[in-house]
Amino acid sequence: MNLFFFALAIQILPTIIIGFLPDNRKASVVTHFLLVAGLILGFSSSFNALVFSNTTQHNISIFGIPNSLFRFDALALYFLCIIQLVAIPISIYSYSYFKYYIERGKSVRSTLVFYTLLLVSTQLLVSANHSIVFLIFWEVMSISAYLGMIFEKEKKEVQTGSFYYFVMNHIVVYLLFVFFFLLHHQTKSWLFSDFHISPEAGKIFIISYALSLIAFGMKAGFMPFHFWLPRAHPIAPTVFSAFLSGIIIKTGIYGILRTFQFLNPTPEWLGWLVLAVSMISAIFGVWYALAQHDIKKLLAYHSVENIGIIGIGIGIGFIGSAYHSLPIQVLGFGGALLHTLNHAIFKSLLFIGSGVISQNLGTRNIELMGGLVHRGKYFVMLFLIGSIAISGIPPLNGFISEFIIYNGFFVTAKELKNYYPLVMLISAVGLAFVGGLAVACFTKINSIMFLGSERKEVKHFNISFYEYVSLGILAFLCVVIGFYPQPFIGIVNKVLNNGFVPVSSSSALLSINWFYISLIFGIIFLGVLFVYFWKRAIQNKYGRRTSAAWGCGYENVNPRMQYTASSFADELNEISKSVLVYHKNIKPSKKIFPAEASFESHSEDLVDNKFVLNGFRNFSSMISKIEFLSHTDIRYYISFILIILTIYGLIAFLWN
Amino acid sequence: MIQGIISILIILLLAPMFAGLVNKLKAIFTGRIGAPTIQPYYDLKRLLRKETINADSSSFISAISPVINFVSVVIAAAMLPIGLARPVISFEGDIILFAYVLGLARFFQILAAMDIGSSFEGMGAARETTFAVFAEPIFFFTLGSIAFMSGLTSIYDIYHSIRLDNVTYIIFIIVCSTSAFILAVTECSRMPVDDPNTHLELTMIHEVMILDNSGIDLFLYQYSSYIKLFIYAILETSFFYPFGVKSYTVGIIIFVVVIAVLSITLAVVETITSRFKMKNIPQYLLFATAIGILNLLIYTFTK
């Protein structure tokens, strides 16, 4: 893995070089060049290790020095591959994104440093084998993401949104500290490779699981803890929000999977719990998304949905672990792992797309968009590929991972009998329902943003070469994994069988008839091509022209008369009103002749509104009670520290 | 394989006929003579020779959507068994692909409707989206329940695992065919969810979505909607196969009889009911879902 560390060294170089390059433009060019080069090198090394070597190394040497701080087992390599693979297009896009600000005279050098740190720390995080190393890089990752997030710190919403993220991170880190200390206490080691607690340990087992699931679940954005996502994603620079949504929340998933490795077999009820929480995340994530007008906020809620889908896979895996059933574990965790990759790909695609749009139009409100398809046809096609993939519709990659999860349901029902068929059926219906809502949501944003005519005049809509390249890479991956999933399934299978699922080799993943599915997708593709050309031939024969749309006799149709995003989703939002906190403010004109009237609708997050905001408010009022201790004189603080330390010292002294 | 190809050809050829039959029966029940049963074929033939007119504001979505719609519906049709014939596309898990391929068709249909930028189409698209969300669970509760209980995941195997052994089977058939019927009515935009013959844009769902299409585009849309109706009819007929296990002729006879009964039922329902209020439709669909759950409970307790 020397090559990997060499690649990291290349990637970290910009942080030093930027110090000597006062010119923003040059700094950006150098940084992005080094980042992309380093990432490609890193990807090739970790991909090579994942695919071609079959040893799970515990002690590796870095440039000849043996150490146990890092470990590259299959799971770590898999996540490394995801990070590097997705970071390449994000970094390519990042060049064009920052160019926009450089042209407007804004300094981007510090943000570039944070971006670099974020990339490097995330890669080191997943390859860490020592708890403290893990925590250090976890903290570096979180803080650099926070610092990058406040790029436009003069805006009020940026301050509040990033603060949410900051607070959330500290809670997570605090819980993780306790988690790792517990593990250390139990196993007398700091190394991941030594951690193992079985359920016989009793309370410790449950407490560790609870800590890990809350901490990592918070980072991943499972439902009651999702509140930071819709706050932090919209305000972050697109590069960071793509990275946050595509990769950083996946480190939460990585953590949960690692925890499973430390603590197994899981009790059955834990599987149920994870399944239920994930199902709620998936359904309400997408339902909240449906009510949003802010494109990035909408995509943030979709991350909650997709994390929910990944969680469903993990829940199935936990149930399988409780019953020591290999096929169930393989299908559950396999679906989760593949969906992690898929979501990283299409979510960064969609975020980058949204960034391109909002940079061009200067707004994130989809109600002000429309008709963009006539300005950037190919861009719309790429965005559409991402949308179809995320809705889980064949023939793209989202379908493949959801298909594995559905198979997990079927196999669980078949293997475990009892009341399982009933529950698995309800889960399948839940997932189908999520799919239906996702279709609703993505038809909504695609049609409101791109189709019809322009609601607000678009001054310019340019998509740079770099943007096309990065979107193109991601869309290409969506298509490849969709049409030809076999190699990716093979990789996931290898990850599972190399030390993840305790007993080696189960062919449940490979026994799904992937060839047949590829064949059908191929037939769909060829069929579409064939019918399309046949249609063209007919049109050539009998003619084709364009004309005004049917206006029911009305002549003065204008763009404002088009269906809007809120009217499109209104019926569904009405149904979910009770959980959604969906407000409508209608002021109809009451006069005989048309007069001024108004309508507005907005939605609030129940968790955010009722619990988090209230919690913060209560907490700050609690804190304000001890405000009298606050002084401007530093000597007071020093004496406080002294008093506290004395108390601690006394306790420690008396304890022994 | 040969049987499968024959099945899909039958579906492609007879689909318009089924729609024509329903319309003819409906006309008879309302005391009219009605168009000939093969009227849909004439319609399709006429559309094929017409000029295509697209709206000014339309884009490539309008051009590819009818094609994708048609191809996905045909692929879905190729997964369904007629009689004892094994369909062309049949593998473990095709029940999921079936539901999702129809989802692909719907995705593009909705986009194409919104592509025009007219609020008529928008209205239809919004309604289609809403009702589709509630229709999806019905499918899983009917066909999916058998899949989960029997442990089989291929539509062909699922149907052939149904055994005619006791009285619960009769209840099961009643429940399944009711919810499948409601599903068919919703997905194919028939009464009482949608009125295919209305002449007011504001009250339509499916028809209004294809309002601005003509020529070959409309041909593809109409043809795929005929096939879709036939697909759901076949879903319905398949519940009755256990009556004719192991015999091709009986299988075909059951197929014909059930199709005939179904078309009469559709016609009767369309004659005696009026369209629901739009806001009541989700409740209607949830009712069908509830029936599906009932079916599931029957299955669970008799096992």
Residues A324-339: pLDDT tens digits?
888 888 889 999 999 9
- Predicted local confidence at residue A545, as pLDDT: 87
ipTM of the complex: 0.92
Q: Characterise A265 by phi-psi region: left (phi > 0), alpha (psi -120 to 50), beta (else).
A: beta
Mean pLDDT of the region B156-178 = 74
Average pLDDT of the residues of chain B: 83
Listed residue (B64, B168, B154) closest to B108, CA to CA? B64
> How many CB atoms are located within 10 Å of the residue A517 CB?
24
SS3 A61: strand
Q: Which residues of B touch A568 (CB under 8 A)?
A: 114, 122, 125-126, 129
Helix-, strand-, coil-residue percentages of chain B, each rounded to 5? 75, 0, 25
pLDDT band at B300 (very low <50, low <70, confident <90, very high): low
Q: Between B60, B114, B144, which is nearest A377 by CB? A: B60
| Nearest Cα residue in chain B from A430 | B137
Please give, rounded to a whole number of angstroms, the shortest distance from the CA of B257 to a CA of chain A: 31
- Predicted local confidence at residue A73, as pLDDT: 83
Please give, rounded to a whole number of angstroms, the shortest distance from the CA of B199 to a CA of chain A: 11
Q: What pLDDT, in 10s, does the model give residues A565-596?
A: 888 888 888 877 777 777 788 888 777 887 78
Say whether residue B145 is in contact with chain A using an 8 A CB cutoff: yes
Q: Between A421, A425, A447, which is nearest B114 by CB? A: A447
Q: Between B120, B136, B212, which is nearest A433 by CB? A: B136
Q: Which residues, other chains included, contact A4 with Cβ-Cβ below 8 Å and sequence gap of 6+?
A: A42, A45, A46, A49, A72, A80, A127
Q: What pLDDT, in 10s, does the model give residues A336-358?
A: 999 999 999 999 999 999 999 98
Q: Does A371 sit within 8 Å of B117, measured CB to CB?
A: yes
pLDDT band at B75 (very low <50, low <70, confident <90, very high): very high
Q: Does B55 sit within 8 Å of A439, measured CB to CB?
A: no
Say whether residue B220 is in contact with chain A using an 8 A CB cutoff: yes
CA distance A230 to A243: 15
Between positions 264 and 293 of B, the ones with CB within 8 A of A are: 278-279, 282
- Predicted local confidence at residue B73, as pLDDT: 93
CB-based contact A247:A340 (threshold 8 Å): no
Please give, rounded to a whole number of angstroms, the shortest distance from the CA of B114 to a CA of chain A: 6
Q: Does A567 sit within 8 Å of B126, measured CB to CB?
A: yes
Q: Between A432, A524, A550, which is nearest B137 by CB? A: A432
CA distance A445 to A529: 26
Q: What pLDDT, in 10s, does the model give residues B258-295?
A: 888 888 888 888 888 877 777 788 888 888 888 777 77
Q: Between A446, A524, A544, which is nearest B72 by CB? A: A524
pLDDT band at B149 (very low <50, low <70, confident <90, very high): confident
- Predicted local confidence at residue A504, as pLDDT: 54
Q: Which residues, other chains included, contact B25 with Cβ-Cβ below 8 Å and sequence gap of 6+?
A: B263, B264, B266, B267
Q: What pLDDT, in 10s, does the model give residues A480-492?
A: 999 999 889 888 8
| Nearest Cα residue in chain B from A443 | B111
pLDDT band at A40 (very low <50, low <70, confident <90, very high): very high
Q: Does A403 sit within 8 Å of B130, measured CB to CB?
A: no
Q: Is A470 exposed, middle or buried (0-12, 13-18, 19+ CB in 10 A)?
A: buried
- Predicted local confidence at residue A595, as pLDDT: 79
| Nearest Cα residue in chain B from A438 | B133
Percent share of chain A, pLDDT over 70: 96
DSSP state, residue A547 = E
Q: What pLDDT, in 10s, does the model give residues A591-649?
A: 788 778 888 777 777 777 777 778 888 888 888 887 777 777 888 889 889 999 999 99
Q: Which residues of B touch A419 (CB under 8 A)?
A: 300
- Predicted local confidence at residue A342, as pLDDT: 93
Mean pLDDT of the region A438-452 = 89
- Predicted local confidence at residue A533, as pLDDT: 93
SS3 A56: coil
Least reliable range by pLDDT among A29-43, A109-123, A446-460: A446-460
- Predicted local confidence at residue B302, as pLDDT: 64
Average pLDDT of the residues of chain A: 86
CA distance A344 to A492: 15
Structure tokens at A276: 């239920």
DSSP state, residue A503 = S
DSSP state, residue A118 = H
CA distance A595 to A573: 28
CB-based contact A372:B114 (threshold 8 Å): no
Percent share of chain B, pLDDT over 90: 13
**Residue B122: pLDDT above 80?**
yes
Say whether residue B151 is in contact with chain A using an 8 A CB cutoff: yes
Q: Does A433 sit within 8 Å of B137, measured CB to CB?
A: yes
Q: What pLDDT, in 10s, does the model give residues A209-265?
A: 899 999 999 999 888 888 888 888 888 889 999 998 889 999 999 999 999 988 878
- Predicted local confidence at residue A588, as pLDDT: 81
pLDDT band at A7 (very low <50, low <70, confident <90, very high): confident
CA distance A537 to B48: 11
Q: Which residues of A touch B135 (CB under 8 A)?
A: 436
- The parent domain of residue B138 ranges over 2-302
Sequence ranges of the domains in chain A: 573-625, 626-656
Listed residue (A432, A398, A426) closest to A412, CA to CA? A426
Q: Between B120, B132, B141, which is nearest A436 by CB? A: B132
Q: What pLDDT, in 10s, does the model give residues A150-205?
A: 888 888 888 888 888 888 888 999 999 999 998 888 888 888 888 888 888 788 88
Say whether residue B140 is in contact with chain A using an 8 A CB cutoff: yes
**Residue A143: pLDDT above 60?**
yes
**Residue A55: pLDDT above 60?**
no
Total of domains in chain B = 1
CB-based contact A199:A267 (threshold 8 Å): yes
Q: Between A392, A452, A520, which is nearest B117 by CB? A: A452
Please give, rounded to a whole number of angstroms, the shortest distance from the CA of A429 to a CA of chain B: 5
Q: Which residues of A touch B146 (CB under 8 A)?
A: none
| Nearest Cα residue in chain B from A546 | B54
Q: Which residues of A touch B48 (CB under 8 A)?
A: 538
DSSP, residue by residue, A121-162: HHHHHHHB-BHHHHHHHHHHHHHHHHHHHGGGTTSHHHHHHH
| Nearest Cα residue in chain A from B47 | A542
Please give, rounded to a whole number of angstroms, the shortest distance from the CA of A117 to a CA of chain B: 40
Please give, rounded to a whole number of angstroms, the shortest distance from the CA of A525 to a CA of chain B: 9
